[in-house]
Amino acid sequence: MNRTRVRRIAFACGAATAYVFALRPTLLCWGATYREAGVRYPSDELVENATSQSTMAVSLPAPPEEVWPWLVQMGHGRGGWYSWDLLDNGGRPSADRVVPEWQDLAVGDRVPAVPSGEAYFRVEVLDPERTLVLRSDLELPSGRSFDPRGPLPRAYSDGIWAFHLRRLPDGCTRLVVRTRGRGEPSFANRLFAWGLGEPAHFIMQHRQFRNLGRRVARRGSAGARGVEAGQARRRGNVRLVR
């Protein structure tokens, strides 16, 4: 074995080690405090024995009642995902305004992930202005969604994409996004998550945070007026929780 080949192998091993022990933990908890990353959230139990988990967070310049409508209208053929539209929305620009027709979301609804509707997220938990949990169960390698209450395919991936909102003292919103996933075959699922799934999620989620921040900021800064408006809107509001 020549020296050049030895150096390449050593470099590859060093890069893999650096990613696993240094870069990967940072990507999985980007923006989150130690407490936010370590706490157990409502809906974590939906994916027990998860083989992958991430917790990313951001503070948005608007109260929860102004952030919530943007999350509710997500989906292909709806408001989009506010991320890299060319990659996750067929090149169609994500909505730059809140659309009333897309605000009627309920537990059990399907949120299309692709134009054909063969892959979708299912609304598992919906607590207005607090928690929105989307679940995806995909048969592999077809990539079609299936009902996890029935027989499980031989190869599949199962995961949640959970949005948790908390009002900050200044009236702004702390948005914590938790993902949990698992699948079969377990080894192949872990390999895919570590090598592609987790880095891809980081790139897309980071972009979504930035674009959400820009959108809610255009509707006015948070503060006393935002808090007062939120309090007025919540009078008589009925929360729906699964």
> pLDDT at residue 123 above 90?
yes
| Dist. CA 115–CA 98, nearest whole Å | 21
pLDDT value, residue 179: 95
- Whole-structure pTM value: 0.81
| For range 157-171, the mean pLDDT | 95
**pLDDT tens per residue across span 181-235:** 998 887 777 777 667 778 888 999 999 999 999 999 986 543 334 433 343 333 3
Residue 1 banded pLDDT, cuts 50, 70, 90: low
Pick the more confident residue, 99 or 226: 99
| Dist. CA 27–CA 11, nearest whole Å | 21
> pLDDT at residue 4 above 70?
no
Residue 170 banded pLDDT, cuts 50, 70, 90: very high
Domain ranges of the chain: 31-234
> pLDDT at residue 130 above 50?
yes
Among 36-50, 70-84, 104-118, 176-190, the range of highest mean pLDDT: 70-84
> pLDDT at residue 28 above 90?
no
| For range 102-122, the mean pLDDT | 93
pLDDT value, residue 225: 40
pLDDT value, residue 234: 37
DSSP string of 66-130? HHHHHHHT-BTTTTB-SS-HHHHSTTPPPPSS--GGG----TT-EEESSTTSSSEEEEEEEETTT
Domain 31-234 sits in CATH at 3.30.530.20
Sorted by sequence, the CB contacts under 8 Å of residue 225 that are 6+ apart come out as none
The average confidence (pLDDT) of the chain is: 83
pLDDT value, residue 24: 67
DSSP string of 117-179? SSSEEEEEEEETTTEEEEEEEEETTTTEE--TTSPPPSSEEEEEEEEEEEE-TTS-EEEEEEE
pLDDT value, residue 14: 43
